[in-house]
């Protein structure tokens, strides 16, 4: 008859705490290594618009949220935009994923903007491809735009390069945000 003995490790409370802390540190290092191997950037943080570093679009159109609160966790990106308008401050929330699934967010009243978010080849920037259909004066219109998000580590800024395809042609602008 074969007997099985359970292995029991007896530890004093200090050794047990040290073992748990060692395990947590090793898990953190493992996670950091995986993040470093994928090389992807995390855009989380609160970002304040910096008008002096930004470039205006060719048509002079300037629309930039004063503040972006970004929560980037795994493949999920939640963005709360705070803008200042003639009627005071207003906020909007958008949710995106980087897993190749189309995301829909309500914009400008009840218009739906559909987006696809992908990583650049070097995993250093995110590309948001947006399409929004809306009606104006009884006519249906489609507006396509792209945003490329890049973080400059040296000066802790987020640059959002936007390209809009409009009936009047292509418009470009770059909004720069400082990390708070």
Cβ contact 165:144 at 8 Å = yes
Domain boundaries of the chain, sorted by first residue: 13-41, 45-179
- Please name every residue paired with 97 in a beta bridge, in sequence order, or none if there are none: 76
Beta strands in the chain (DSSP E): 45-49, 67-73, 76-85, 88-97, 103-107, 111-119, 125-136, 139-152, 157-166, 169-179
Percent of the chain with pLDDT over 70: 76
Name the one residue in this structure whose structure tokens are 């800024």.
Answer: 157
Has residue 140 got a pLDDT over 90? no
Angle at 61 between CA 145 and CA 43, to 5 degrees: 50
HSE at residue 94, side-chain half, CA atoms within 13 A, is: 25
- Average pLDDT of span 69-81: 97
Instruction: Retrieve residue 8's tokens.
Output: 């029991």
- In degrees rounded to 5, what are phi and psi of residue 95? -125, 135
To the nearest 5 percent, what fractions of the chain are helix, strand and coil?
A: 15, 50, 30
Is 45-179 a domain of CATH 2.40.128.20?
yes
Phi, psi of 28 (to 5 degrees): -65, -45
Whole-angstrom CA distances from 56 to 62, 65, 100, 135, 170 are 6, 14, 30, 26, 13
Contact call for residues 100 and 116 (beta carbons, < 8 A): yes
At which residue do the structure tokens 């074969």 appear? 2
pLDDT digits 0-9 by tens, 150-167: 999 988 999 999 998 877
**CB-CB contact of 150 with 161 (8 Å):** yes
pLDDT tens-digit readout, 17-63? 333 333 333 333 323 223 333 468 999 999 999 999 999 876 655 67
Contact (CB, 8 A) for 147 and 168: no
pTM reported for the whole predicted model: 0.74
CB 59 within 8 A of CB 167: no
């Amino acid at each position: 008859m074969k007997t099985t003995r359970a292995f029991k490790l007896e530890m004093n409370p200090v050794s047990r705490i040290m073992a748990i802390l060692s395990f947590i540190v090793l898990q953190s290092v493992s996670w950091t290594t995986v993040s470093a191997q994928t090389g992807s950037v995390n855009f989380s943080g609160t970002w304040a618009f910096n008008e002096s570093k930004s470039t205006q679009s060719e048509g002079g159109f300037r629309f930039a949220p004063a503040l972006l609160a970004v929560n980037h966790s795994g493949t999920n990106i939640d963005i709360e935009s705070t803008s200042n308008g003639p009627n005071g401050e207003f906020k909007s929330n958008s949710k995106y994923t980087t897993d190749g699934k189309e995301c829909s967010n309500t914009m400008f009243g009840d218009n739906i903007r559909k987006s696809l978010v992908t990583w650049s080849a070097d995993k250093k920037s995110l590309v948001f491809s947006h399409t929004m259909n809306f009606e104006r004066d009884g006519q249906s219109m489609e507006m396509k735009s792209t945003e490329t998000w890049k973080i400059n580590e040296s000066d802790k800024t987020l640059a959002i390069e936007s390209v809009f395809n409009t009936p009047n042609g292509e418009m470009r602008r770059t909004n720069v945000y400082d990390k708070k």
